[in-house]
Structure 1
């Protein structure tokens, strides 16, 4: 079996676990992605080899500077300067490797997203910023003092318009120490994924879903207009806290397959505190979890088909929630 055949087998095995409309990406990888990735892999390897050589030289400079500066001539300043130079040399070259890895991520995601009818932005558009603010107003994410929004996807899935992005939200906290000084720290209050899905109909009321009612209480999300929803399935009623302004509509929205999808996402993200709000003509959802769409680091091969498999798996995860909620 050739290397190419082995790569194809690896990717086809990954694609077999994804929706059927992902299957053709094995051919896309072979015809469009692999040739360019192999060239990028050669660049990464050369840059990494150069960075490793610099590391060896830098470590040698540190050792020699320490011996001469502190042992032979006993001039500490000489030793310190030499050590600093050594560390600079040791780290020289790794920024280039990181840049190649970053460029490769965008190179991979952009054409794959386009084939799926999506536009990709490694940062975030003004629209994503606006949707994040709306998500905060609807108590899907907490407030923040500092934010970072990334990996934005915009498009449609089976005719359902949606937007997806990742967000890292931090709160500034100031405390006073025992000696009377103030100390400022930044605390992460949310790191995860956000969806805004266009609903096929306008909702009459507002329905909020969370695994923990404490989340609503903390954000002041349970007002006088809301009452605890009475779901048809007691299993899901135990799993989620649901508050609504329209009891009939909430039961129509939160069918067992929808709730099972919510639970499935939590399992996938290892207990990610899923929450969602159905309001107006949109569904706002968020889950706490690690970053998606990373596809390996600078020490892993760029042309590894597992990178493509990981990326497609992440996109399929995004699509799954849209597929389920878009049925309504």
Structure 2
């Protein structure tokens, strides 16, 4: 979580200092810290039990092997019985780990997310809510039109949803994968997974009404092959050409209506999208349809994940979450989505 960039631009009226938020959430943090200390004590107890179980298992196994060898000699058949305490020991260790270690850690993280990150969200943006166990649905992700591969495995979490001023929006982390099969030189088949997309998906109301559709993706063809790549792209009938050379080099745009595409992608918006690319990475993709703006931001880091090894009051951890949220909330201001155009209200 240390590689999180600061917000592009501080959002107006946001108490973006974690110390301010910690003061506001002090009763919650105090109770959570007491629970963390109790959970840590049980986790330590769990590790002690696992260690003791391992020692007893080794001791009993060695003793059984010694007795069998003494009575029957080096006979592999009876020595199989020595595996019984090993199996029992492993089962006990798994049960202990689940009950004393992973269970308490997961419970703490779930409460922290709900109470602390949820509370911070409401303080930063009163119109927004945080649902850690939910995310943007697979159907909504498919509807962005940004990725054409078939999705065979899908997971999502950490949904933020609500309104910032006039703009309704939602975003969450998600991971979409495709299952593929390959055959080795001996004819054996192997199944493996390929990531289609992993990162954040942001969906918001656009500030103009329109009926058509647009996709805005990185222009790998032109950046890699120059004039030849541009020529190949021109064979596509829904390619949209624009007058901003920097925008043309950065993105390739496809749309269902050339006139409406230019109505949507004004020179000002093109400049804002270039700033968005500079701030959020060259691999971002965008689409516009049904009067909504869709943005995908690839990333491999898992955001909004508290550490049980840090005190609940830890300001550096809280500031990381503040930066993560503000970084995404800032898209609304960066793209000027709250400025309504003509009939859009």
Q: TM-score, normalised by structure 1?
A: 0.78
Residue from 196, 206, 221 that aligns with 1:189: 196
Contact 2:218–2:284 (CA under 8 A) maintained in structure 1: yes
Structure with larger Rg:
2
In structure 2, C-alpha distance between the alignment counterparts of 1:229 and 1:110, rounded to whole Å: 43
1:113 matched to 2:121: yes
> Cα deviations across residues 185-239 of structure 1 (Å, max 9, x unaligned)?
332211111111111212365332222446xx9xxx998442252342x344333
Name the CA shift for 1:290/1:212 in 2 (closer, same or farther; >3 Å): same
- 1:168 is aligned, of 171, 175, 180, to 175
Q: Give secondary structure in 2 for the equivalent of 1:156.
A: strand
Kindly tell me the number of residue pairs found equivalent between the two proteins: 300
Partner of 1:240: 251
Within the candidate set 232, 237, 261, 2:276 is matched to 261
Give the alignment partner of residue 35 of structure 1, picking from 27, 41, 49.
Answer: 27
Gaps in structure 1 of 5+ consecutive residues:
1-13
Residue 3 (structure 1) aligns with? none
Give the whole-Å Cα distance in 1 for the aligned partners of 2:179 and 2:329. 34
Q: How is 1:147-296 mapped onto 2 (pairs within 5 angstroms)?
A: 147-203=154-210, 205-213=212-220, 224-232=236-244, 234-244=245-255, 245-246=257-258, 248-249=262-263, 250-252=265-267, 254-266=269-281, 273-291=283-301, 293-296=303-306
Q: How far 1:315 moved relative to its partner?
A: 1.5
1:63 matched residue in structure 2: 55
- Aligned 8 A contact 1:18 1:313 in 2: no
Q: After the TM superposition, list the runs of 4 or more consecutive aligned residues in structure 1 that deviate by more than 6 angstroms.
A: none
Matches of 2:248 and 2:304, distance apart in 1: 35
Aligned match of 1:87: 93
* 3-state SS of 1:98 partner: helix
Q: Deviations for 1:97-119, whole angstroms, at most 9, x for unmatched residues?
A: 22112221111232333342113
Who is 2:225 aligned against?
Answer: none
User: Is the alpha carbon distance of 1:305 and 1:142 closer, same or farther for their aligned partners in structure 2, counting shifts above 3 Å?
Assistant: farther
Kept after mapping to 2: 8 A contact 1:118/1:155: yes
Structure 1, residues 2-57: CA drift from partner, whole Å, max 9, x if none?
A: xxxxxxxxxxxx99x842422276444313x1222122112112212221232133
- CA RMSD across the alignment: 3.2
The answer to whether the Cα contact below 8 Å between 1:140 and 1:276 also exists between their aligned partners in 2 is no
Q: Which position in structure 2 is the counterpart of 1:10?
A: none
2:317 is equivalent to residue 307 of structure 1: yes
DSSP-derived class of the 1:21 partner? coil
Assess if the C-alpha contact under 8 Å between 2:129 and 2:160 holds in 1.
yes
SS at match of 1:30: helix
Are the equivalent residues in 2 in contact too, given 1:69–1:79 (CA < 8 A)? yes
Instruction: Give the corresponding residue for 2:3.
Output: none
Contact 1:59–1:90 under 8 Å retained in 2: no
The answer to whether the 8 Å contact 1:169/1:188 transfers is yes
For 1:123 and 1:89, locate their aligned partners in 2 and report how far apart those are by CA, in whole Å.
Answer: 25
- The whole-number CA distance in structure 1 between the counterparts of 2:107 and 2:36 is 10
Gaps of 5+ in 2: 1-5, 67-78, 222-228
